[in-house]
Each structure stands twice: as C-alpha cells, then as structure tokens.
Amino acid sequence: MHLLSNCSKHYLIIPVEHIPTVNDLQRRNEDYTLVSHMINVGETLLRRDAPQSNQYRFGFHQPPFNSVDHLHLHCFALPFIPRWKQLKYMSLGPLGGFIEAEKLLEKIKPLSPIPP
C-alpha cells in the first residue's frame, strides 16, 4: 500500500521484470498479458480491502511525468482526498501525464489473437 495515499486505498503493482516505462511496452502477447495481470491483481486487492468504495481507477504515469523508472500500476479506491490530488493523475494527451490502464491495454493489444 502507498503510505502517502491520495485515496482511501492506493496500491502500486510492480512487476518483477525491470521495464522502465509504459513506452517500453509493445504490441506483443507478453506485454499485454503482463499489464492485464497487473490490473487483475489491483482489482483483487481493492475489492478485498476497499469494498465500500464504489469506484476504482487504474493507470500509469507516462514520460516525462513519471518519477520512477520502473513500470508500476497505480490502483485507487476513489474518491481522491482532497479532490485536487487527482490533478497528479490526469491525462495530458500527447504530452503524457497519466494513462488509464484500459487505454494502455488498447494501445498495446497484439494485432494477432492472444492464445488462450
């Protein structure tokens, strides 16, 4: 759990393999499967530890706005407290900022079908 939390719960899901940033992910099965697994772990933790929250949010910081050069997924049980803390987790379009996990999955989805 992230101790300087902006929400009732804020987890960071970090893969063992070193991947510097979301820009290092590609349209391949391994990357898509990794990000999907990270989201599933985050959802499981938040459902277990913040069942009272009716909204969750998942995403990644993108360069140049990432402060840690190791891929990590932010998992939030909303709302942000105080509300202005959500500014740190906003998309800045082509400038980077924060990318929602589902949007990243769309971006790295392999062109060929993923085997079961």
Out of 10, 61, 72, 74, the active site residue is 74
CA distance 24 to 61: 13
Helices 101-108 and 29-49 cross at an angle (nearest 10°) of 160
Nearest Cα residue to 1 out of 75, 69, 96, 94: 75
**Which residue is listed with tokens 């349209």?**
27
Active site residue 74: yes
Question: Which residues are marked as active site?
Answer: 74
